[in-house]
Structure formats: structure tokens, C-alpha cells
Amino acid sequence: MITPIHITFNLGIYFFISKMNVLGLDEIDLLLILSSELIDLDHFFSKPIFNANRNSFKTHFLHKNWKIILLISILLLFCKPLMFLGVGLLSHLLLDYIYNKIYKI
């Protein structure tokens, strides 16, 4: 999926949680949720870098290990300092999965 959509979705999650006033959020949490986009660095190792008809779970090495990343993300949800990194990774994998299902890749 296109990176601006991932970033917008993550910012929406962050601002939704911040409006609930349940957690004391700061700039570090915002940086953590945005740093979850670094999982897309594996796109630079494929040719072409972006291909709309490519299944990222089958071609990119960081996405191929989605089960491990999913487990780590769920574990990060229980660690308050890194919780937003887990939220960002989960939303990233979810958006990639939805993109693959919509376009039948």
C-alpha cells in the first residue's frame, strides 16, 4: 500500500488515542508510531522499488516474516514505552493485508 496512506492512518490512530485522554502521550509516542513505517525499507531491495501489483508478503523480506512481526507487535502492546511501535506495526500489516485482498494480489 502507498506510504502516505499508512502514515495518515497511523496519525489518525495516534490522534484518536490522544483525544481519549487515557494515556499520557508525548512526542516520543508519535515518533514510535511513525517509525513503524521503517518496515518498508525492504522495498529498496526489490526491482522495481514500487510495483502496485506485487504482494508485499511474498516478495519483501521484512514482510515475509509477518508472523514474527505480528507476535512482536502484540508483545509490544504490553510494554508502555514501546506500545505505539506495536500499534504502528499492526496497522501497517493490516493495511497491507487489506490492500492485497482488495486488489486480489
Handedness of CA 47, 99, 2, 85 (dihedral sign): negative
Q: Smallest Cα–Cα separation from 92: which of 26, 32, 21, 18?
A: 32
Cβ atoms within 10 Å, residue 27? 7
Residue ranges of the domains in the chain?
Answer: 3-102
Handedness of CA 14, 66, 53, 103 (dihedral sign): negative
Residue 41 identity (one-letter amino acid):
L
Mean pLDDT, contiguous 10-residue spans, the chain (105 residues): 80 85 79 89 84 84 90 93 91 89 83
Residue 78, pLDDT score: 94
Residue 1, pLDDT score: 57
Residue 61, pLDDT score: 86
Residue 90, pLDDT score: 93
CA distance 8 to 33: 11
Question: Which CB contacts under 8 angstroms, 24+ apart, belong to 13-17?
Answer: 13/87, 13/88, 13/91, 14/84
- What cell numbers appear for 72 in the block? 512482536
